[in-house]
Amino acid sequence: MFFASDNGGPANPEILAALTRANEGYAMGYGADAIMDEVRAQLREIFEAPLASIHLVATGTTANSLALATLTNPWETIFCSPTAHIHEDECNAPEFYTGGAKLTLAGTEDKMTPDALRAAIEGEETRGVHGPQRGPVSITQVTERGQVHSLEELNALTAVAREYGLNTHLDGARFANALAALGCTPAEMTWKAGIDAVSFGGTKNGCMGVEAVIFFDPAHAWEFELRRKRGGHLFSKHRYLSAQMQAYLADDLWTRNATSANAACARLAAGLRDLPGVSFDFEPQANIIFLHMPRATHQRLQAAGAVYYIMAGDVTSGDPDEPLPARLVCDWSVTDATIDRFIETAIG
């Protein structure tokens, strides 16, 4: 019963099979492998963006940092949500890669709103050279609290950015989960919605470690390539990144995985929703649940070996009815049986 993170489960067997296939014979290094040509073609087709520049890296922090560094001058500030991964979970990687840009938090909630974004931009009055200059807007989709921006919401955010002449970046570590939730096309969730650059996640959704960075304006390509090399993120044996992404995109593996994970999360949410003392902090929309459950419920789950993050409080002692906050994440691999066992254990 592992719900700690969607980086804890296994990779799809298809991914491993692809590595094995890619392991035949010799290949040119550093992105000049033939499989990467396929990946470029796949993503351009999927995104309906024949000119997009496509790059692979191994981690999500890297995808975000390099994409943002390419769009940000060091004297600028990046607008993001207060719960954005780039703000809370990357140990200052965006600040490092941009050479010292700032992050300005738009709003107090998980999901950035146009009003909060506008207020944040206006709050960063630059007053000539004195204040930080306004830089790109980074939107997280799925958010860190499991929320999905609707296409209307995305369009409204990018409209504010455009009004101020700012670029936009989508942190899509859970891109596929958002897409499955919205039932739209990749183009609709990105460039048709005004997004300039995307971190397109693979790692959390069934790969071993691969993310694509996509710029819809190919003018950014060469600078990104240099930044990736200089950051140590250009793989000599690049074919093993290519192979993962190739298999991830082939036969809809990526959307199948995300659909499974979202469905698992919905089943879990349905089973927990009406339990006494259980309340959801956010309405689950993809594969993540933030909820409160009574201490006694946590104790039963922990005793049964369930693995997940309890966000605050001492689970071992105290009022058994006191609700303690927790996060539950479903990956592609979790089974209905596991979910049902978790729910039964929670019911007690």
What one-letter code names the amino acid at 125? Answer: E
- What proportions of the chain, in percent to the nearest 5, are helix, strand and coil? 45, 15, 40
Residue position matching structure tokens 């024949």: 50
Please tell me whether residue 11 binds a second copy under the rule CB under 8 A: yes
Site for a second copy in 82-111 (CB under 8 A): 88-93, 95-103
Reading the block at residue 73, the tokens are 């001058």
User: Residue 241: what residue type?
Assistant: L
Contacting residue, 48, 131, 255, 315, with a second copy by CB under 8 A: 131
Give me the numbers of helices (H) and strands (E) for the chain, helices first please. 14, 11
Least distance in angstroms from the C-beta of 315 to a second copy: 17
Task: Output the six-digit token pair for 84.
Answer: 């954005």
Residues 288-307 that bind a second copy (CB under 8 A): 307
133-162: contacts with a second copy (CB under 8 A): 133
Which of these ranges, 123-131, 158-166, 187-195, 318-326, lies near a second copy under the rule CB under 8 A?
A: 123-131
Q: Quick one: 119 or 307, whose CB is closer to a second copy?
A: 307
Burial of 20 (0-12, 13-18, 19+ CB in 10 A): exposed
Residues paired with residue 211 on neighbouring β-strands, in sequence order:
57, 201
Cβ-based neighbour number of residue 168 at 10 Å: 24
We find the least distance from the C-beta atom of residue 45 to a second copy, in angstroms, to be 26
286 binds a second copy (CB under 8 A): no
SS3 140: strand
Asked whether position 28 contacts a second copy by CB under 8 A, the answer is: yes
For position 329 contacting a second copy by CB under 8 A, the verdict is: no
How many of the chain's residues bind a second copy (CB under 8 A)?
74
Cβ 223 to a second copy shortest distance, Å: 8
Pairing type for strands 197-201 and 211-215 reads: antiparallel
Name which of residues 50 to 69 contact a second copy (CB under 8 A): 57-62, 65-66
The answer to whether 64 touches 86, Cβ cutoff 8 Å, is yes
Contact between 274 and a second copy per CB under 8 A: no
Q: Please state, as a whole number, how many other Cβ atoms lie within 10 Å of the Cβ of residue 268.
A: 26
Does 236 participate in binding a second copy (rule CB under 8 A)? yes
DSSP string, 70-89: HH--TTEEEEE-TT-HHHHS
* Contact region with a second copy (CB under 8 A), list: 37-45, 151-159, 200-208, 290-298: 200-208
Q: Residue 242, SS3? A: helix
Q: Is 230 in the site for a second copy (CB under 8 A)?
A: yes
Shortest Cβ 316–a second copy spacing (Å): 20
Residues 6+ apart with CB under 8 A from 232: none
C-beta of 56: minimal distance to a second copy in Å? 12
Nearer to a second copy, 57 or 178 (CB): 57
What is the C-alpha to C-alpha distance for residues 177 and 195, in angstroms, rounded to an integer? 18
Q: Which stretch binds a second copy (CB under 8 A): 42-50, 178-186, 203-211, 267-275?
A: 203-211
Out of 20, 185, 279, 335, the only residue in the binding site for a second copy (CB under 8 A) is: 20
Closer of 100 and 276 to a second copy (Cβ): 100
Tallying the residues shown for the chain, one arrives at 348
Q: Is 345 in the site for a second copy (CB under 8 A)?
A: no
Residue 196 found at the interface with a second copy (CB under 8 A)? no
Of 100 and 348, CB closest to a second copy: 100
Neighbours of 86 (CB within 10 A): 24
- How far apart CA 140 and CA 44 sit, in angstroms, is 22
The window from 13-21, 35-43, 252-260, 284-292 that contacts a second copy (CB under 8 A) reads 13-21
